[in-house]
């Protein structure tokens, strides 16, 4: 089954993808899902984390996105993500897993994975997640957000929401809805430069290094239901 990209796809440039999973059947299935997409292209596949890392090291500029299984012998998806973020931070990483336990999701967040998706999701969600990561920088599947919320609330202090101004709260909520800075500017009738300034202050006030950090902050305070 091939996918016909929507005319409203947020992507404007080709995205070369490296798929990593220790099951050939999974690789073949994921590759089939992306056939026919105008912008998302599977450039390479790898059955091990070691092979994936070798491909990345040989030509790190060849890829824009790595989709990796979390549980693999040798170099796991988490290990691979950590190496990528340390040495090739331009690459975005989606962790694809059958595990919904908090410990796995926590590990993905800790290594700054740009997204986490369960394997029981469908083709449309898979495509949506890839497009969101490349467009807005983050995609954590809706069905795991309650798990993140429960894990974040357990035994941790709450940050002070009052540190954020009303306008910063408006911007934050739109970021969490996957709006780009340009779209936020149009929606709030402010300039893109003003939105970018708000983004910087929001990241500082929430002690977040990425959109993933903003998600953690948001679920702790139930900004994401």
Mean pLDDT of 204-221: 78
Q: Are residues 135 and 156 in the same domain?
A: no
Listed residues 140, 175, 209: the one ending a domain: 140
Listed residues 102, 120, 140: the one ending a domain: 140
Annotate 41-57 with three-state secondary structure. EEEEEECCHHHHHHHHH
Mean pLDDT of 201-223: 79
CATH number for the domain that contains residue 155: 1.10.10.10
180 occurs within a structural domain? yes
Average pLDDT in the chain: 84
Q: Are residues 115 and 39 in the same domain?
A: yes
Q: Where are the beta strands (DSSP E) in 4-101?
A: 15-20, 40-46, 65-69, 92-97
Residue 215 burial class via C-beta count within 10 angstroms: exposed 0-12, middle 13-18, buried 19 and up: buried
112 occurs within a structural domain? yes
Q: Are residues 120 and 163 in the same domain?
A: no
Q: Are residues 56 and 109 in the same domain?
A: yes
Q: What are the two backbone dihedrals, phi and then psi, of residue 114, each rounded to the nearest 5 degrees?
A: -80, -10
Q: Of all helices (H) and strands (E), which one includes residue 140? A: strand 139-140
| Predicted model pTM | 0.70
54 occurs within a structural domain? yes
Mean pLDDT of 184-206: 89
Higher pLDDT, 121 or 46: 46
Q: Are residues 100 and 165 in the same domain?
A: no
Residue 221 burial class via C-beta count within 10 angstroms: exposed 0-12, middle 13-18, buried 19 and up: middle
The most confident of 19-28, 91-100, 194-203, by mean pLDDT = 19-28
Mean pLDDT of 130-137: 87
103 occurs within a structural domain? yes
Percent of the chain with pLDDT over 90: 39
Show Cβ contacts of residue 13 under 8 Å, excluding neighbours closer than 6 positions. Answer: 39
- pLDDT tens figures, 156-166: 444 456 678 88
Q: Are residues 127 and 203 in the same domain?
A: no
Residue 208 pLDDT greater than 90, yes or no: no
8 occurs within a structural domain? no
Q: Are residues 34 and 118 in the same domain?
A: yes
CATH number for the domain that contains residue 83: 3.40.50.2300
| 119 and 141 Cβ atoms separated by less than 8 Å | no
145 occurs within a structural domain? no
123 occurs within a structural domain? yes
Q: Are residues 165 and 128 in the same domain?
A: no
User: What pLDDT is recorded for position 149?
Assistant: 66
Q: What band does 9 get if pLDDT is binned at 50, 70 and 90?
A: low
Q: Are residues 51 and 20 in the same domain?
A: yes
9 occurs within a structural domain? no
Segments forming the whole domain that contains residue 87:
15-140
Listed residues 106, 140, 174: the one ending a domain: 140
Q: Are residues 186 and 80 in the same domain?
A: no
| Domains contained in the chain, number | 2
Q: Are residues 115 and 206 in the same domain?
A: no
| Dihedral (CA of 55, 91, 88, 60) sign | positive
Q: Are residues 89 and 39 in the same domain?
A: yes
User: What pLDDT is recorded for position 162?
Assistant: 64
């Amino acid at each position: 089954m091939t996918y016909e990209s929507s005319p409203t796809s947020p992507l404007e440039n080709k995205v070369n993808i490296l798929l990593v999973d220790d099951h050939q059947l999974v690789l073949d299935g994921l590759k089939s899902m992306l056939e026919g997409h105008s912008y998302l292209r599977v450039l390479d596949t790898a059955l091990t984390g070691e092979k994936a890392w070798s491909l990345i090291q040989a030509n790190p500029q060849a890829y824009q996105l790595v989709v990796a299984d979390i549980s693999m012998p040798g170099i796991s998806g988490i290990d691979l993500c950590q190496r990528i973020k340390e040495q090739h931070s331009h690459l975005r990483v989606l962790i694809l897993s059958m595990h919904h336990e908090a410990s796995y999701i926590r590990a993905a967040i800790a290594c700054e994975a740009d997204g986490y998706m369960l394997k029981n999701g469908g083709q449309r969600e898979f495509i949506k997640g890839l497009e969101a990561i490349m467009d807005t920088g983050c995609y954590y599947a809706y069905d795991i957000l309650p798990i993140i919320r429960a894990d974040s609330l357990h035994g941790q202090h709450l940050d002070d929401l009052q540190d954020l101004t009303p306008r910063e709260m408006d911007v934050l909520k739109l970021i969490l809805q996957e709006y780009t800075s340009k779209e936020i500017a149009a929606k709030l009738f402010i300039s893109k430069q003003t939105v970018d300034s708000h983004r910087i202050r929001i990241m500082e006030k929430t002690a977040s290094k990425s959109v993933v950090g903003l998600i953690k902050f948001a679920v702790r305070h139930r900004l994401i239901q």
